[in-house]
Structure 1
Amino acid sequence: MKHIQTLLAAVAFALPCTLGAQNLVVKANAPIADIQPTMYGIFFEDINFGADGGIYAELVKNRSFEFYKPLMGWTTAMAPEGVGSVLINNREDAQSANPRYAAIKVNGGQLSMVNEGFRGMGIKANLDYHFSVWARQKEQSNLSLVVELKNAKGEVVGSTTVTPQGTEWKKYTASFKSSQTDAKGQLSVTFKGQGAMDVDMVSLFPGDTWKNRPGGLRADLVQLLADLKPGFLRFPGGCIVEGHDLSVRYQWKKTVGPIEEREMIVNRWNTEFAHRLTPDYYQTFGLGYYEYFLLSEDLGAEPLPIMNCGMACQFNTGEVVPMDQLDPYIQDVLDLIEFANGDVTTQWGKLRADMGHPAPFNLKYVGVGNEQWGTQYIERFVVFEKAIKAKYPNIIVVTGSGPFPDGADFDYAWGELKKMNAEIVDEHYYRSPQWFRDNATRYDSYDRKGPKVFAGEYAAQSVAIASPDNKNNWDCALSEAAFMTGLERNAEVVTLTSYAPLFAHVEAWQWTPDMIWFDNLRSMGTVNYYVQKMYSNNAGHQVVPMLLDGKAITGQEGLYATAALDKETNEVILKLVNTSNQSKTTNVAVEGVKKLASRGKQIVMQADSKDAMNTLDEPTKISPVESVIKVSGNKVNVTLQPMSFTVVRVKK
């Protein structure tokens, strides 16, 4: 009998149950702080094939033969054998940004060059594809190009012919449809005839890019970003701002102007991780600073560029520019502001106009340095900030506290930045789910008169920082949801926040976890994505107190909560995170209102397992579910499911 009782007690403990009701109070007439429109934003870095092979819709890898191995991504076949050749020429003296091109010779037969794409090419049936190439015929040559899109079996599913004319470089274009859908397509370019031809910038884009822009972005990935309704877009990183060394740092001026004149560099994540070596990872800068600004505008997000401060990645070479040689780096920042905001009569404002955007982008923020630390960073930041403010006093300058959320370097940075009255300090944290739950009170004690906080990179790590075994599971996402109640509750201090990294190709990632995963045809938001979306789509305008027994709700019995007012819709917004494995009945009394509407909206994310995840096959397995909730007077009764995140919106 005793054994049966013990067994029953154990079962009862293991099964979810409903605790006694908890009485919460929202003081809707006592706003604490405004929630900034920039509160929830996006961090973009070209990691995990996020740009080339990702959001940048180009299907051809190594289109201009500039990889360290010039024919990486290409294979060559001749029929009959021995009738042709491919030679890579270098014209560095004449065109240093894009020096290499392929010199083709064919002697009365045909030669084919096949490009494998980025882990294959995702092609869709009945979709237009736009081919382009820069080419020039040699004297007395009559070569033509047969362009074929092939499926994984090598079968032709679309084709066109291009016949370049003349001995001067010229861009040629052609379009055709694909008859099949295949995630592992490839592009074949066959040279037929007699003679010689030079080719460069061999390119293929799908016709369904975002806003149908030629040479544009992958629409499904941008749509996932647009659905977040982000307040800002931080770009281009991240550690690629710094570079492994300063020779391969991100230089924005090399990413604007005509595509064929942009100087490609190796991606710093190319060989960073021994567990995920990616020797074919480069930055073509087809997605450059102009495109980042344009994307920000499309998303209705404030652009937030991060600029190199004269320091390479301190986890790599740690190379620095001497203090008396910083001028070119500072000038890059000043010129960028002119590019974004300058009149069309200015040098860089004119370039923006020439690229198709005469109106300014209204840049308000600029970041100096990414994850730098130590005295060498602080002394450089001081010089940058002084120069920026001297010419552009209204630009808000974002600085950083290093790669970790605590420790001697963190404390030193904050001490110095407080002394100089820094405007916004960027903090990063990649920590365990437990850390995120424990740190929901992190900003409760921050100085309300000190620098504001940018939670610029954060993500719960299910195993360890940068472990290849990290998962985008519900335990991590729910812990982030709990932590974010503390970000919002402290909106007086925290003004910008963003999860990181953003994108990851399922076959070409270097870092996990990531917010959005994709293959060559499909994409999906992780459970972490949907937590971010629930916050950003339900931010409100003012944070108000939400209390349990007179105290902020910061983990009591596994419950975390915050509340806000939406001045446009006249709603009270409640965010409640139940991290326990037990249901909770909460009675929320909203003070400061005579009455609430009789019905409200309830949005719930819940999973029965901490290990639960979304997949490309089940992309919305765990995602917000919306329903109607009944309201009585000024009270909202909400039953919180075990391990759930709930948002309630009720009109006053």
Structure 2
Amino acid sequence: MLAQAPLLASSIPLLSNSTTTLPSPLSTTQSTCAGSAPPTNVPSTTFPVTVPAQPGGTSGPVIGQPAWDYTNLNQTNNGPLHLSVSTTGGNKSSLLLYGVMLEDIDHSIDGGLYAETIQNRAFQDRTMEGWYAVNGACMGLTTELPLSDALPNSLRVEMKGPGEGFANEGWWGLSVRPVAYNISFWARTSSDVKNFTVKTALISAADQSHEWVSTEVALAGGPDWTYYTATLTPAIAAPDTNNLFVITSTSSQSATVQFNLISLFPPTYNNRTNGVRPDLMQNLLDLNLKHCRIPGGNNLEGQTVARRWKWNETIGPLTTRPGRPGDWGYYNTDGMGLFEWLTFCEDLVGADGGTILGVYAGYSLGGESVPEEALQPFIDDILRELEYVLGAPDSAYGSLRVRDGRTSPWNVQYIEIGNEDWFSNTYAYRWPAFYQALKATYPDKTFIATTTKGIQLPAGVQFDQHFYGDSRNFLGLFSAWDTWPRDNGTDVIVSEYSVQRFDNQTFSPWPFMQASVAEAVMGLGIERNSDVVKTQMYAPFLSNLHYDREGKPRLISFDADPAQTVLSSSYWVLKLLASTHPADARVLEVEGSVPVHPLYWTASLDVGTAAVYVKVANAGEGEQVVSTNLQCGTASVVEGEKLARNTPEEKGTVGIEELEVGTGEDGGSRVTMPGWSVAVLTCAGVDGCPRGNLPEAPGARLRQPTSL
């Protein structure tokens, strides 16, 4: 089917120095006529995991502030623990307490959440990675008559007869299911080619004579680029992802054809054009998250100023998006650009303002900072970006949003200026320049600073802290925010955290129970201080199983086969805690009968239903008896041995289970918590009566556990 071609260009004003650093142009056509036959086994089948037999050692480094040792970890009590929970008063908790930070790391986006199944679809990095010649076809890259300024490289294929063509292996495999796959590509031929047809097909890589489905496309002869679409709907699912997408000649005549932007999209979440994988989206939706920070992260900054993430090169038609060398070892297509990122966040956390938009603030990972006297063009560029996101439909940049398919502005309420700027020595002049200009234009937005180094935070600004370390580090953070000033108008977010190391300081390739419990301990500390700590976000969130992760853990690991997705122990702990954080919550006063460690706790009231959630973490080997004065109907727990973890080979080792609830000595409830566990007890208010709308106690502080 011949479809009307989308726009090939867009008039988006650029910074004078904003040209993306692309690979050097091709001097001649790069040819692989000698042949590179399609592989018979596409996906990798090994997932190396090395786990120390008995970790042990000292604490490791941290990224962010404050320092670790707030909690006395030298004391150990053996319980039993009795928690006396007050169901009146309490501090109002943050609605947005649990969230997600996403950027393209470990092919979390390209080859992951972004639903495109074709690897290297537009040859943006000037390689033919993922592509193979079929039946002796001669193919190579060329810059002859480029598709667009943004996409100068195309695939030139000489097909001398039926069956010759080329194949793509997908992202470490290609899932074939009985759903509609939308094909699209651009092609051009010489003027003398007439009635030339090609077959598009999904085939088995192991038995390349076996087609799952195919359809023919007639190419219009001539030198002009033409846009084609087709649909493939397999009748049955393939047994694995060892499959290829192929385009081959069905004509007896010989022809040389240039191809570019070759795409194969399965159904997406909410049937969004250029959207995300439904299965991974559902994994995220199941967490009940309320905050979404995009588009990074380090990947926002670039290794140099010239290689930073440029919003205006990620919007509009795909033919206008050059992509960029990402900050995690591979080229980013930017198919998931600013428009798609914001749509994704709205689909995930709703339209009530839970999106945090990170903006480039003049510092890049390689250590390069924009000089103070040269900042204004970069500030102006961010103001244009915000007009695209927030401006009226008839504004200069709001109209580009309308062109891209959305009339109303996004409800973005949070803007983060930079990322991890404690690495630089220039935030002291960059922060006020950006903040003052953006705040003057958008006075109702909440702005987030990434460090306090060299600056004084104004009232109403939030401070972003990041934490990576070992389990002991995270236990020490339980009481880190107990003394955070309540009178200066500055709140905190923790938009990146994860336990990444065993006790002996070697990296763990997967989250494990000791780590997940320690993360929960920090999380309980955040929840009990959630009048000032507004959100927490695990990072990194997503990782393709086949990409080199340097042995570090990720919350969700996946490949092309949805059945291979690994939901880690930390995923289940986060799900347990986030799904029991109500929209209208009060953090309640809790008095414990023993000091903290290895038991840590908090409690909150759902004002709407009068349910009380008592949350307890056991960061030790032995069982612990925990009782409360409340009557609790159910208890859920995530538990396992110290090094228990979910892996591709053992996906179900850790999950959410029910915990038996007994009657305590005072008529309340009691549970026996296993070692290395996190539990949530769902309880009624006093005498089971609804509490109604409780008044908030402004500035009130909760009673702290003893002997911190």
CA gap of 1:20–1:320, structure 2 versus 1, over 3 A, is: closer
CA gap of 1:421–1:90, structure 2 versus 1, over 3 A, is: farther
Pairwise CA RMSD: 2.3
The amino acid across from 1:195 in the alignment is A
Following TM superposition, by how much is the alpha carbon of 1:110 offset from its aligned partner in structure 2, in angstroms? 5.3
Aligned residues of 2:274 and 2:336 also touching (Cα < 8 A)? no
Partner in structure 1 of residue 264 of structure 2:
204
The amino acid across from 1:161 in the alignment is E
For the pair 1:535 / 2:577, whether they are aligned, the reply is yes
* Aligned counterpart in structure 2 of residue 250 of structure 1, from 309, 327, 330: 309
Aligned residues of 2:95 and 2:290 also touching (Cα < 8 A)? yes
Partner in structure 1 of residue 242 of structure 2:
184
* Aligned counterpart in structure 2 of residue 289 of structure 1, from 338, 341, 346: 338
1:108-187 equivalence runs, <5 A: 108=161, 111-124=164-177, 126-142=178-194, 143-153=196-206, 154=208, 155-167=210-222, 168-178=224-234, 179=236, 180-187=238-245
Following TM superposition, by how much is the alpha carbon of 1:360 offset from its aligned partner in structure 2, in angstroms? 1.9
Residue ranges of structure 1 left out of the alignment (5+ in a row): 1-17, 271-280, 402-412, 591-595
Aligned residues of 1:35 and 1:539 also touching (Cα < 8 A)? no
1:27-426 equivalence runs, <5 A: 27-31=86-90, 33-69=91-127, 71-79=128-136, 84-91=138-145, 95-108=148-161, 111-124=164-177, 126-142=178-194, 143-153=196-206, 154=208, 155-167=210-222, 168-178=224-234, 179=236, 180-191=238-249, 192=251, 193-207=253-267, 209-270=268-329, 281-301=330-350, 302-313=354-365, 317-373=366-422, 374-401=424-451, 413=452, 416-418=455-457, 420-421=458-459, 423-426=461-464
Tell me, in whole angstroms, the C-alpha distance in 1 between the residues paired with 2:79 and 2:536: 34
Partner in structure 1 of residue 71 of structure 2:
none
Which is richer in strand? Answer: 1
Aligned residues of 2:124 and 2:322 also touching (Cα < 8 A)? no
CA gap of 1:137–1:466, structure 2 versus 1, over 3 A, is: farther
Aligned residues of 2:500 and 2:508 also touching (Cα < 8 A)? no
Tell me, in whole angstroms, the C-alpha distance in 1 between the residues paired with 2:614 and 2:508: 34
CA gap of 1:85–1:440, structure 2 versus 1, over 3 A, is: closer
For the pair 1:452 / 2:496, whether they are aligned, the reply is no
The amino acid across from 1:311 in the alignment is Y
CA gap of 1:483–1:561, structure 2 versus 1, over 3 A, is: same
Indicate the SS of the match to 1:183: coil
Tell me, in whole angstroms, the C-alpha distance in 1 between the residues paired with 2:503 and 2:218: 55
The amino acid across from 2:263 in the alignment is S
Following TM superposition, by how much is the alpha carbon of 1:497 offset from its aligned partner in structure 2, in angstroms? 1.0
Aligned residues between the structures: 590
CA gap of 1:554–1:169, structure 2 versus 1, over 3 A, is: farther
CA gap of 1:181–1:217, structure 2 versus 1, over 3 A, is: farther
Following TM superposition, by how much is the alpha carbon of 1:156 offset from its aligned partner in structure 2, in angstroms? 2.4
Could you give the per-residue CA deviations for residues 15-49 of structure 1, whole angstroms, max 9, x where no partner exists? xxx95532221122130x22111111001011011
Following TM superposition, by how much is the alpha carbon of 1:383 offset from its aligned partner in structure 2, in angstroms? 0.5
The amino acid across from 2:534 in the alignment is T
CA gap of 1:464–1:396, structure 2 versus 1, over 3 A, is: farther
Tell me, in whole angstroms, the C-alpha distance in 1 between the residues paired with 2:684 and 2:257: 69
Tell me, in whole angstroms, the C-alpha distance in 1 between the residues paired with 2:450 and 2:508: 28
Partner in structure 1 of residue 481 of structure 2:
443
Tell me, in whole angstroms, the C-alpha distance in 2 between the residues paired with 1:58 and 1:248: 24
CA gap of 1:160–1:455, structure 2 versus 1, over 3 A, is: same
Aligned residues of 2:126 and 2:153 also touching (Cα < 8 A)? no
For the pair 1:513 / 2:545, whether they are aligned, the reply is no
For the pair 1:605 / 2:638, whether they are aligned, the reply is yes
Following TM superposition, by how much is the alpha carbon of 1:571 offset from its aligned partner in structure 2, in angstroms? 0.8
Tell me, in whole angstroms, the C-alpha distance in 1 between the residues paired with 2:336 and 2:463: 27
Indicate the SS of the match to 1:352: helix
Indicate the SS of the match to 1:52: helix
The amino acid across from 2:225 in the alignment is W
CA gap of 1:64–1:422, structure 2 versus 1, over 3 A, is: same
Aligned residues of 1:49 and 1:509 also touching (Cα < 8 A)? no
Q: Give the % identical residues.
A: 28
Tell me, in whole angstroms, the C-alpha distance in 2 between the residues paired with 1:221 and 1:571: 31
Following TM superposition, by how much is the alpha carbon of 1:473 offset from its aligned partner in structure 2, in angstroms? 0.7
The amino acid across from 2:607 in the alignment is K
Residue ranges of structure 2 left out of the alignment (5+ in a row): 1-76, 686-708
More off after superposition, 636-645 vs 236-245: 636-645
Tell me, in whole angstroms, the C-alpha distance in 2 between the residues paired with 1:486 and 1:296: 26
Indicate the SS of the match to 2:109: coil
Could you give the per-residue CA deviations for residues 610-643 of structure 1, whole angstroms, max 9, x where no partner exists? 1111123443331111367466887222222222
Aligned residues of 1:86 and 1:105 also touching (Cα < 8 A)? no
Indicate the SS of the match to 2:389: helix
Following TM superposition, by how much is the alpha carbon of 1:582 offset from its aligned partner in structure 2, in angstroms? 2.0
Partner in structure 1 of residue 588 of structure 2:
544
Tell me, in whole angstroms, the C-alpha distance in 1 between the residues paired with 2:338 and 2:504: 30
CA gap of 1:107–1:61, structure 2 versus 1, over 3 A, is: same
Could you give the per-residue CA deviations for residues 460-516 of structure 1, whole angstroms, max 9, x where no partner exists? 122489965443111100111111111111112201110100111111143511110
Indicate the SS of the match to 1:390: helix
Could you give the per-residue CA deviations for residues 352-388 of structure 1, whole angstroms, max 9, x where no partner exists? 2222221221110111111112440121011000001
Tell me, in whole angstroms, the C-alpha distance in 2 between the residues paired with 1:423 and 1:464: 36
For the pair 1:433 / 2:492, whether they are aligned, the reply is no
Partner in structure 2 of residue 626 of structure 1:
658
Tell me, in whole angstroms, the C-alpha distance in 2 between the residues paired with 1:39 and 1:447: 19
Aligned residues of 1:26 and 1:563 also touching (Cα < 8 A)? yes
Following TM superposition, by how much is the alpha carbon of 1:529 offset from its aligned partner in structure 2, in angstroms? 0.9
Could you give the per-residue CA deviations for residues 566-620 of structure 1, whole angstroms, max 9, x where no partner exists? 1122111100111122222222125xxxxx5xx522111111x211111234433
TM, length-normalised to structure 2: 0.79
Following TM superposition, by how much is the alpha carbon of 1:120 offset from its aligned partner in structure 2, in angstroms? 2.1
Tell me, in whole angstroms, the C-alpha distance in 1 between the residues paired with 2:491 and 2:144: 50
Tell me, in whole angstroms, the C-alpha distance in 2 between the residues paired with 1:216 and 1:328: 32
Partner in structure 1 of residue 608 of structure 2:
568
The amino acid across from 2:262 in the alignment is V
Tell me, in whole angstroms, the C-alpha distance in 1 between the residues paired with 2:80 and 2:430: 55
CA gap of 1:160–1:352, structure 2 versus 1, over 3 A, is: same
